[in-house]
Structure 1
C-alpha cells in the first residue's frame, strides 16, 4: 500500500519552482512579524514618550506599510498553494481509481455503485485537498513567523530570548506529542463516517425491498448503531482536541507571564519600558498567533489530512502488477464446464458450458435477451473470469493472455478526443497508409475528410453512435489481435455497413466471434452458437448449429 508520507512528499517535490515562489513571498508576508516589536518600541521611546508625535506616527506608518506588503504577498502565497493543491487532488483521484480498478480486476467484479467507494472518491478526496492546502499554509506561516519574530526579539532585547522561546518550544513539543492520538481518533471518526454513509446509501436504495420484507426495524437498528458509533468517535475526538489548549497556554501565554516577571530586572539593567512593550508585541502579535495557527491548522487540517490519506490509500496497491504477456501459438477457444453468475446468490447466467472454437473460425452467438450472450463474450475475451470451469485461448487461461492478442468491442464504442489516426491506431501504432486501407474497407473516407484528415482532431460528441462504431471496427481491423469479439458492436449500423465490417474482419487471420443482433450476422458466420433460456430443469444452456 502507498504510504501517506510518500504521497505528500511527491506532491511537494514535483513543483520546486512553486515552492521557491511560495518561500519568496512568505519572506515578504512575515515582514511585520520582524518589524512589530522594533516599530512599537521606537514609536513609544523615540516618538510619543519623547514628545515627537510625527516620529511615533512614522514608525507606525512603517509598520502599516509592511502590513500592506504582507497583504499582497499573502495573495501570491495563496495562489502558490493552490498550484500545489490542485495537482495533489488529481493525484488522490488517481490513487482512488487505481485502487478501485485493482479491487475490480482482482475479483473480476465491478465495485458496487455509491457506498464507501463513492465516499472515498468524493468527500475524502476533497477533504484531503482542502486539508493539504491549509496544512501547507499553516506550516509555512509558522516557520517563517517564528524565524522572523525570533530574529526581531534577539535584536531588540536578547535577555528575553530565553523566557520567551523556551516555553514556546515546550508548548510546541507538547502539541506535537499529542498528534498520534489525535490522528488515531480522527481516523476512527472518518471510518465511522464512511461506514454510516455506505449503510445509508444501501438502505436508501433498498427502501422498497425493506418495506416489502418487513425489515424496516432491523435496518433502522443497524443504521442507528452506526450513527451512535460515529457519535462516540466524535466525542472522543472532541476530548482529545481539548488537550490542545494546554499546549497553547504553555507556548503562547506563559511567555507573557515570564516577560512581565522579568521586567523589574530588565528595568534595573537600563532596558527601557518601551523595549519591554516591544518584546510583548512579539509574543502576543507574532509568536502566540503563530502557535495558535499551528495548533489549529495541524491539529485539525493536518490530522484530517493524514487520516483521510490513510483511508484513501487503504485500497491502493503500491503498484499494479503489469498484465501477463503470454501469447499463445493460436487462438483456439476452449470452454470446459464454465459456470458464471453475477453474485453468490444469483442464478448462473451460464452453467457448465462446454465449447470448442478452432483457430480461424467465424462464430456467431445468438439467443434471446438475457440469455448470457454479452457475458459469454466477456468470458471469451478474458474480461471476466468464470466462477467454475476454464476459458482457454490457445491453451492458456483467457485472462492471462496478452491483451494485444485479444480484443473485445462492446456496443458503446470507445472514441476519445484526439486525432483520427490516434483513435484508429489505439492502443498500438499504425501508419496513415495502413489506416487508409482500413478506412477504405469500411467506407470511412468521408468521415475522415470531414474531421480534417488523419491528423484532424476528433470530437466524440460530434459523432453519431454508428460513426463511433465504425471507428472502433476500423481500429479492430488495424489491431494485431488474432481474437476479435464483437458484442453487438454493429447494432447502430445499417445492414450494408454491418455486412461490410463483418466481412472485412472475417478476412483477417484469426478468430472472429460476433454477438448477432440480426439474422444476417448469423447467416454470414460459418458456425452459430444459440444460447437458451436457462431453465433450471435444463442444465444444458447452449447448443451448437453448423450453418452450411
Structure 2
C-alpha cells in the first residue's frame, strides 16, 4: 500500500497544483460560515426580535454557498490537469514494461487489458480520491475554524471523538488493502478452478471423478468465502469508525448541552455548533470513509497490479533471458535448471527451483490440479515467458510450436488456415497432415481447401482440430499441446497425440485427461510441493496424487457405459 500511495503522491507533486489548491479556499467559505451564520441569526436576529437581522445572516450564508459553488466549479475544471497526466504516466509505464519484456523474449499478454481496463480504473478512482480527500480537508478545516470562532469550548469537546474515529479508520486501511488483494486473488483462483472443472465435466462424469473434481473446486470456494468474510469484517469496522467519529461528537455535544448553557453558551451558539457537526464534520468523514474504503482500495489494488506487471528484473549472470540457440543443446531437447516463476515480484511463485530434462524425441505428459503451473511451464518451454530465476535452454522459438486450449482460426480459406505456419506446403503434404490427424470428415464438410472459412461457424473442437493439423504441418522439432485437445472426444485426442509422437520430434502434452499420461513415454506430476518425473511406473510409485488420479480413471474405465 505504501508503494502505491508514494507513487500517487509523487505524480501529484510533479503537477502544478497551486491554482487547484487556491480555488479550494473559496469552497471552504460555506463550511466556515455555516455555524457562525446560524448562531448570529438566532441570537442577534430571531431571539432578539430582529427577524431582518436573522434573515440577513441567512442571506449571507446563501451568498457564501454561491462563493463555494464558484470555487468547486473551478476546482473541477482543473481536476483534469492532475488526472490526465497521471493516466499518461501509467500508459507509458505499461507500454515501457511490455516493450522491455518483448525485447527480452517475454511477450506480455496482459498489456492490452491493463491499457484498456486497469489504467481506466486507476484513472477514475484517482480522480475520485483527489476530490474526496480535498473535500474532507476543506470541510474539516472550515468547520474547525468556524467552531473556534463561535464556541471554542465546543471544539474541545467534539474534537477527540472525531479524531479518534478518523485515526481508527486510517489505521484499518492497511488491513483492508491486504484483505482486498486476498479477495481478488481468491476470486481469480476460484474462477480458474471452476472453469477447468466445467470444461472437463463430461470426462469427470465419465470416469466417476466427481469427488475429486469437487475437492479441486471446494478449496478455492472455501478460500473465496473466507476472504469475502474477512473483507466484510473490515467493512463493519469502518462503519464503527464512522459511528465514533461522525455520531460521537453529536452525542457528546447533546450530552454536554445543559452544562454548556450553564456556562453561558447561548442557544444560537449551541445550534451553530450542531450545524458544524451535522453539516460539516459528519458528512465530510462519511465521504472520506466511503471514498477511501471503496474506490481507494480498488485504486491501490489495481495500481499495484499495474506496477507489478511493469516490474522487470535484470537477470543475473547465471540466468538466460532468451532461449539459447540450437548449438547449446541437442536438437529437440529442452533443459530447465532451478527455474522459478511468479506473476509479479510480490506473488508466490507458481514454479520454484524446477529442474527438468526433456531429451530429443521425448513424449512427456504434464499432469496436476488446475492452477498448479502447467500452462506456465508450457509458456516457459516455448519462450513466451522468461523465468525469474534459473535457466531454460532450448531451440530457437521459431522451432517450437505451442497449441493452446483456445485455438486460433481466422477468416480465410481452409488451406490458408492450415498453411499459416508453412505457406509453401504442397497439396500432398496437406493431405498427409489431414489424414494423420483424422480431419478428413471435417475437411469434406467444410468443402475442401479452397472453401471460405468462418470461425464463428465452427465448434471449439473443430477449431482445435484445424489448429492441430496446422501445427502438424509445420513439422517443428518441439510441439507443446497445452490442453489443445480438450474439446475433442477421447478417440480424436488419442489419434492426435499419437500422430505427433510418431513423427519423432519432442512432444509435451499438458494433460487434459489422465489417459494422455498413460500414452506418454514419461510423466511429470506437479502438485504444488514437489515435481515427480519419470516413466509411468516410477511416477506411480513416487506420487500419491498421480495414484489418486489414475485410480479414479481406472474406476471409470471399469464402469458399464450408460
Q: Given the two structures, how large is their TM-score scaled by the length of structure 2?
A: 0.53
1:26 is aligned to 2:17: no
Q: Distance in 2 between matches of 1:218 and 1:110?
A: 35
Q: Distance in 1 between matches of 2:394 and 2:313?
A: 30
Q: Secondary structure at the match of 1:51?
A: coil
1:110 aligns with one of 103, 107, 111: 107
Q: Distance in 2 between matches of 1:214 and 1:31?
A: 72
> Which residue of structure 2 lines up, in the alignment, with residue 139 of structure 1?
133
1:271 is aligned to 2:269: no
**Deviations along 1:260-311, whole A, 9 cap, x unmatched?**
3333333334332111111111111101111112211222222332233333
Q: Distance in 2 between matches of 1:153 and 1:536?
A: 83
What is the correspondence of 1:62-211 to structure 2 with a 5 Å cutoff?
62-99=60-97, 108-111=105-108, 122-196=116-190
1:3 is aligned to 2:3: yes
Q: Distance in 2 between matches of 1:333 and 1:230?
A: 45
The answer to whether the 8 A contact 1:203-1:219 is kept is yes
> Which residue of structure 1 lines up, in the alignment, with residue 447 of structure 2?
none
What is the correspondence of 1:117-516 to structure 2 with a 5 Å cutoff?
122-196=116-190, 222=216, 225-317=219-311, 337-339=330-332, 388=393
Larger radius of gyration: 1
The answer to whether the 8 A contact 1:37-1:278 is kept is yes
The 1:145–1:304 alpha-carbon spacing in structure 2 relative to 1, beyond 3 Å, is: same
Deviation of 1:252 after TM superposition, in Å, equals 1.8
> Which residue of structure 1 lines up, in the alignment, with residue 49 of structure 2?
51
> Which residue of structure 1 lines up, in the alignment, with residue 555 of structure 2?
none
**Deviations along 1:370-414, whole A, 9 cap, x unmatched?**
xxxxxxxx99xxxxxx964677xxxxxx9xxxxxxxxxxxxxxxx
1:39 aligns with one of 37, 40, 50: 37
The answer to whether the 8 A contact 2:332-2:505 is kept is no
The answer to whether the 8 A contact 1:47-1:54 is kept is yes
Q: Distance in 2 between matches of 1:244 and 1:285?
A: 20
Q: Distance in 2 between matches of 1:211 and 1:120?
A: 38
Aligned length: 365
Q: Distance in 1 between matches of 2:173 and 2:119?
A: 21
Q: Secondary structure at the match of 2:48?
A: coil
The answer to whether the 8 A contact 1:102-1:317 is kept is no
Q: Distance in 2 between matches of 1:121 and 1:195?
A: 23
The 1:29–1:532 alpha-carbon spacing in structure 2 relative to 1, beyond 3 Å, is: closer
**Deviations along 1:185-228, whole A, 9 cap, x unmatched?**
11111222333455677789889999999999977875565455
The answer to whether the 8 A contact 1:2-1:317 is kept is no
Deviation of 1:151 after TM superposition, in Å, equals 0.8
Deviation of 1:338 after TM superposition, in Å, equals 4.4
* Structure 2 spans left out of the alignment, 5+ residues: 317-324, 337-353, 363-382, 385-390, 398-419, 425-473, 478-499, 507-562
Q: Distance in 2 between matches of 1:58 and 1:167?
A: 34
Deviation of 1:533 after TM superposition, in Å, equals 7.5
**Deviations along 1:496-538, whole A, 9 cap, x unmatched?**
xxxxxxxxxxxxxxxxxxxxxxxxxxxxxxxxxxx97868667
The 1:336–1:271 alpha-carbon spacing in structure 2 relative to 1, beyond 3 Å, is: closer
> Which residue of structure 2 lines up, in the alignment, with residue 13 of structure 1?
13
Q: Secondary structure at the match of 1:3?
A: helix
* Structure 1 spans left out of the alignment, 5+ residues: 323-331, 353-377, 380-385, 392-397, 399-486, 492-530, 542-548
Q: Distance in 2 between matches of 1:197 and 1:118?
A: 21
The answer to whether the 8 A contact 2:150-2:273 is kept is yes
**Deviations along 1:130-162, whole A, 9 cap, x unmatched?**
322222111111112111111111111112221
**Deviations along 1:306-348, whole A, 9 cap, x unmatched?**
23333332333267689xxxxxxxxx9978744489x99xxx9
The 1:537–1:238 alpha-carbon spacing in structure 2 relative to 1, beyond 3 Å, is: closer
Q: Secondary structure at the match of 1:243?
A: helix
The answer to whether the 8 A contact 2:122-2:302 is kept is yes
Deviation of 1:181 after TM superposition, in Å, equals 1.6
The answer to whether the 8 A contact 2:34-2:272 is kept is yes
The 1:69–1:299 alpha-carbon spacing in structure 2 relative to 1, beyond 3 Å, is: same
Q: Distance in 1 between matches of 2:260 and 2:268?
A: 11
Q: Secondary structure at the match of 2:164?
A: helix
Root-mean-square deviation (CA, aligned residues, Å) is: 4.8
> Which residue of structure 1 lines up, in the alignment, with residue 59 of structure 2?
61
Q: Secondary structure at the match of 1:30?
A: helix
Deviation of 1:50 after TM superposition, in Å, equals 2.3
The 1:340–1:69 alpha-carbon spacing in structure 2 relative to 1, beyond 3 Å, is: farther
Q: Distance in 1 between matches of 2:54 and 2:272?
A: 14
